[in-house]
Chains A and B, each alone.
Chain A
Amino acid sequence: MAISYGHAQTNARISGVVKDEKGLPLPGVTILIKNSQIGTTSNVNGEYSLNAPKNSTLVFSFLGFSSQEINIGEKTTLNVTLKEDISKLDEVVVIGYGSVKRKNLNYATSEVSAKSIEDRPITSLQQAIQGRAAGVTVIQPSGKPGAGLNLRVRGYGSLNGSNDPLYVVDGVQLLSNDGINPNDIENITILKDASATAIYGANGANGVVLITTKSGSANKTQISVESYYGFQNVTKKLDVLNAKQFATLINEERTNVGQAPFITDVSNLPYNTNWQDEIYRRGAQQNYQLSATGGSEKYKYYLSGGWNAEDGTLAPASFGRYSIRFNQSANLYPKLKVGSNFAISRVNSVDVADNNRVNQAGVVLSALSTPPTIPVQNADGTYPQNPYQALENPVAITRGADNTSFTNKILGNVYAEYQLPADLKIRSTFGVEANDNRSDSFIDPFTTGNGRALKGFASAGSNNEVIWQNENILSYNHTFNKKHSLDAIGGVTFRKSNYTGTFLSGKNFANGSIKTVNGASQKIDASSNNSGWAYLSYLARVIYTYNDKYTVTGSFRADGSSRFGPNQKYGYFPAASVGWLISEEDFLKNVSWLSSLKLRYGIGSNGNSTGIGDFSYLARYGVGYNYPINGNTQPGSISTSIANNDLKWEVNTTNNLGLDISLFNNRISLSADAYYRKTTDALVNRPLPSQTGYGSITQNVGSLENKGLEFSLNTINYSHKNFTWQTDVEFSLNRNKVLNILGQSIMAGGVGDNGNSTITEEGQPISSFYGYISDGVDPATGNIKYRDLNKDNKITDADRTIIGNPNPKFQGGITNRFSAFGFDLSFLFQGVYGNDVYNASRIETEGMSGPKNASTAVLNRWTTPGQITDIPRAAFGDPNQNSLRNSTRFLEDGSFLKLRDLTFGYNLTSVLKKQSVLKSARIYISGRNLLTISNYKGYDPEVSREGANPFALGIDYGTYPQVRTLVFGLNAKF
């Protein structure tokens, strides 16, 4: 029954003080008369007073504390003690093979909850982590729908293995994290230091991302609908020359080298095509999720179905994911619990060819460099090429090729947990990940020159990998004498993969109507291969806590793998940590402003075994070394590698020192970690003298290091009944250095005719940019002055040096969350600082060496002696190598600050009629990449042409531009 404010005669003044469990006053507590909007807030001394009807109920609520409802009866004074919600220290944090209370946690972890995932136009779980976990770098290499994100925990620790973390979904170790629906995720915990990850042994070196999917809760049936629909656009278009400017430029290129101009009449040009307008469109993004949860004390379930679709800004690029999930658990008997978590998903994607220049049919650079002087399509339906160089126009590239793929994925597990006597518990799980992938491509025989030359080309590749996993864990959890708490596990696990792959391709198609290999009159490839691997592991861990103050942990894992050489069949991975909850000591217990203070240290060793192939340790023979005998080709096989019986995992050892401090009733919480991560036994290709018959052998001989600092700060800035403001800050820095690669200089990052642009060598960060130093344009000649480093009066290869570093000096993210009167606003600013990007796209757009269109920057090109400018002269063929050399001319500051996420929503619950079946509803708008602050001249400084290749980071070469997304959402719960 609602009490109207007007009935003053039934009201009485009630007042009191609100305190916490320590007896400290709590300011800012919201006190409301139940079922009304009438209320007040406690003052700095925790005092409150308001008029309330007798026998009414007051609701005391405060962020981080459990609400209390108290009937005031006839009282006029009511003092209340609020209990912390679940006290932050008693929160349970998921760690590998178990969980631990935060106060007993000695590990370096970051957590991302469902709250950071909901109501945002994100399609992958990495996007949910971006900017929200200190020490975790997430780079989206391009704006292409479904583009795989690079997630790095504490830098690059491997040269020839993967640097991706291990993803574990509900205990199942993943091979591929594609197809995971972020909306099904309840919580993500990232284990960062080796004392935590060593329990994952030979696969834990790059950090472990533990994903817990949603589950049902007892007696709370709920049906939810979540949906959003919106648009995406490229964040930026680049200014290129119009038809007349283009014609003038390419004529100048020719006359500057004494050749006849390309175009005789620059004033009479029939077309002025804007190619970027032709290929970029407004994309769309939509997501629909229907879920049901509920259950009883004995049976709980979570059911969901989701559809996510993205139509890219550059047709026909698109991404679609369908997924269903069914999680359930049942207490069959008092001591026996069983359950399962299963998801089936399908991902469809359509690719476009980017990351190349137009010569290799890269569509983005084609859009920037195709002459504006030709039409999109001729009257006869054909697509004109660059008239001077037989290169495709970008529309022809996108229409002339189909690149589609799909992946069907089954991921899940079933488990049984049996409570044994004496606080012992055994849990057996059987998990599976099955990925069925298929990629088709077709180049039609008409649209492109390449297609016409091949008379059409089609390929079909499929691979299927099934990984099953069985884990048997015995756990023991007991507290002795109320002071000694022991949490121990031990177990044995099995993991095995079966892989099959097939690939077919063919050319010479009669027409474009059949797009699959069966239409090819000439088959090129028909191959298949099978492979597999297995792990057998033993693991154990003990967490001992004395009096909730001192926690020590020790863990050990032994991993045996089919991939390891016979002399190294098992790897052993120990770890230990100590933690001291100083705030529980008597001398700090009564410090009122200090909620908690903890110091922790961990050391551990784990491994990375991704760099070795299934049978790399064996002496292998290669096929295809054929020779004609009697005029007929006979199959030849040759020895291609030496057996390496010592081949093994890369070893990663991390020391981590951490400090957690919470102040003022946990309104300010700070975690700081310092780490030193060293990789030894890194896989390095060791060159061999050719007289051996082998070029190189991969051996565990290298080393590299990462060291850094991480800070994570969470504050409750303001908490009032109608207005709250919270801020989360993460800040981190990492320094990477290659220590030993046998003195080699590993060059990579080749761009067009310019060759390699990166170098990896000892004493330097991985993937440093390498090239000449440009001292600008010589006013006398219009040519770039390259610095003669060795002073031999010649510019040669020897004048190249390290010119930049793609690794940021530091990175961070700030999330602010506001809520007021049913409205909520949250936004994340995320940025990196101090990294370089090699903008190799400008080699094409500012090269002025051939009949290609250029950016408007070249309007400032050198034309007359004495002219001061930073753009050299136009010269066909670039005889002075003004752009044909990789140099500081194309190196740019890659620092950026992005408004990564912004969500503004309104909770309709308070305006809904109470009797409605609708329990709650929410509308919102949400944007991604709405604002980018950067000095970068290209599309976007967040770019990586070669994706995750650790030898070639931060290169922009016609990469699909990043996109800005804005969606409108509606959620409802029934």
Chain B
Amino acid sequence: MKKYLIIILAAATALTGCKKFLDIKPESEITGANFYQVASDAESGLIGCYDALQPDAYYGFDIETYGDVTSDNAYAGGDNPANIQMDEFKTDPNNANISRDWNQMYQAVARCNDVIDNVSTMDNKVFQGNRKKEIIAEAKFLRALDYFNLVRIWGRVPLIVNQIKDTKPESINKGNSEISDIYAQITKDLTDAVTDLPKDNETGRATKGAAEGILAKVNLTNKNWQQAADLCGQVMGLNKYSLVGNYDALWSGKNTSESLFEVQFTGGNEGNVMPDLFLPFPLATYEFLKFSTPTEDMIAAYEPNDQRKAASIIFADQYYGKNFPHVYKYRNAAGFAAPTNVPVLRYADVLLMRAEALNEISYPNLEALSILNQIRTRAGLLVSKTLLDYPTQESLRVAIAKERRVELAFEGHRWFDLLRTGKAISTLQGKYPINNDRLLFPIPQNQIDKNPNLKQNPGYN
């Protein structure tokens, strides 16, 4: 009997000895263990970072709502209570838009963190040339853009710069960060991006010029006038960008000579919903109450003969009534899947930023005036302005701000311009119940519910 027992035990041990039996590797799923091995893994992770910009909860719709609907450029339009709240400064912490936007922007940040953390530890040898550095630089550019949006919309958001790998409270429940810390991170990421990104890159990818331009805007926001002016100058010095001859061509085309960075859409699965949300029927596929309808004030802001008006706004008989204004910058509707890009940074924006910064540094500045005329001339306003038209620094400041408004209308900039120039309350009060607390949006309640360290912005409790 002993003999048999020994045989059985030996057999059992032999069989169980191979620990490999339980070691089954996924074949059809990518996991942390088998990803970020080769260059194409890193490239596809990076594509995921760009992909995060497309949804309607980000550049695919809602950035326009923050920039233009919240400001004096447009009404909410449509029939969506969340948009109406944002238009009327009544945004509730349970507002569906801010909830989805917070999710999406942090989703975008997390994808960048993933790429930056993991590609950094990859062997340089699996990449060609400088590609490893460039991939990290592209991800840093995107992370900076994401945080720039987060900090301008919500203020003291949690600054997270590494991939979350466990669910310990200290890992998942980071509280509010200081705004200065967030801007320091944005500046650091963009500075790295400026260093490592090439001047020319594949269409759709971040470039040195794009990083310089966004960094200029960050500096302009923080009133670092000289740095802003210098960075804009660096963009100009690249000798890569130029204004297109006809303003309307910006909206009938894409990725023009004026484009520093724009969110790419090619239709179908990579389609844009905005044209269908904005355009009147039958330019749009469907007929319903359209979103982001231009205000009377916006329409009046265009001077006679300004070609930008017809390029930006189309009037049509629709649900709202006869000859009603609709945003016309996003065209080629295709059943919520349009091949229409969304501009993030245009050369005209860079030029106007330089003009603004130079005017802030000293008055009079002829280059600032010249830039203003360059922008106006392209728009069909052929009579050049002189210093006599802007006898004071403030008058030129107002002129540049107004030029930014009509030049960049419905591109998601106006509200952020009003914020950084301190003009939001003076511009909108009387029309809306705006006050200091309403310069930031409420942090979504569902996030505060999930994270005990996250504190609501003042005035929303």
Interface residues in chain A, defined as those with a beta carbon under 8 Å from any beta carbon in chain B: 420-422, 424, 426, 472, 474, 492, 494, 496, 528-536, 538, 560-562, 569, 614-615, 618-623, 625-639, 642-644, 686-695, 697, 699
Contact = CB atoms under 8 A, between A and B. Distances in A.
A630 B43 contact: no
Contacts of A536: 16, 21-22
A637 B21 contact: no
A638 B447 contact: no
B106 A690 contact: yes
B29 interface: yes
Contacts of A628: 204, 264-266, 270
B204 A691 contact: no
Nearest to A634: B47
Contacts of A687: 450
A634 B102 CA distance: 26
B44 to A, nearest CB: 4
Contacts of A426: 4, 8
A472 B8 CA distance: 9
A688 B26 contact: no
Contacts, number: 193
Contacts of A633: 266, 269-270
Contacts of A529: 27-29
Contacts of A625: 47-48, 51-52, 111
Given A492-B16, A619-B31, A693-B109, A639 B102 contact: no
Nearest to A497: B24
Given A627-B47, A691-B451, A693-B109, 6 more contacts: A628-B270, A633-B269, A636-B45, A636-B47, A691-B160, A693-B164
Given A533-B24, A636-B50, A638-B48, A688 B4 contact: no
Interface residues of B, number: 65
B164 A614 contact: no
B284 to A, nearest CB: 19
A649 to B, nearest CB: 14
Contact of B22 (A562, A623, A690, A699): A562
Given A536-B22, A629-B47, A420 B164 contact: no
Interface string B284-295: 000000000000
A530 B32 contact: no
B371 to A, nearest CB: 31
B388 interface: no
B191 interface: no
Contacts of A642: 164-167
Interface of B: 1, 4, 8, 11-12, 15-16, 21-24, 26-33, 35, 41, 43-48, 50-52, 54, 102-103, 106-107, 109-111, 113-114, 157-158, 160, 163-167, 171-174, 202-205, 264-266, 269-270, 447, 450-451, 454
Contact of A690 (B11, B41, B102): B102
Nearest to A633: B270
**Which of B24, B111, B270 has the largest number of chain A CB atoms within 10 A?**
B24
23 contacts: A472-B8, A472-B12, A472-B15, A492-B16, A529-B27, A532-B24, A619-B165, A620-B32, A621-B32, A623-B44, A626-B269, A627-B264, A627-B270, A630-B204, A631-B264, A637-B30, A637-B44, A638-B45, A642-B164, A643-B166, A644-B167, A689-B450, A691-B160
A630 to B, nearest CB: 5
Contact of A637 (B45, B164, B205): B45
Nearest to A637: B44
B31 A561 contact: no
A530 B22 contact: no
Contacts of B204: 627-630
Contacts of A639: 32, 110-111, 114, 163
Contacts of B45: 636-638
Contacts of A699: 167
A691 B102 CA distance: 8
A691 B48 contact: no
Q: Which 8 A-B pairs have the closest CB atoms?
A: A693-B110, A619-B32, A636-B47, A529-B28, A621-B30, A638-B48, A636-B48, A618-B31
B139 to A, nearest CB: 12
B61 to A, nearest CB: 17
A214 to B, nearest CB: 32
Given A636-B48, A688-B172, A689-B447, A562 B12 contact: no
A533 B25 CA distance: 9
B54 to A, nearest CB: 7
B29 A637 contact: no
Given A472-B11, A492-B16, A633-B270, A615 B110 contact: no
Contacts of B44: 623, 634-637
Nearest to B255: A631
A468 B15 CA distance: 15
Nearest to B30: A621
Nearest to B103: A690
Nearest to A687: B450
Contacts of A623: 30, 44
Contacts of B28: 528-531
Nearest to B173: A689
Contact of B27 (A472, A531, A622): A531
A625 B48 CA distance: 5
A626 B22 contact: no
Contacts of B202: 629-630
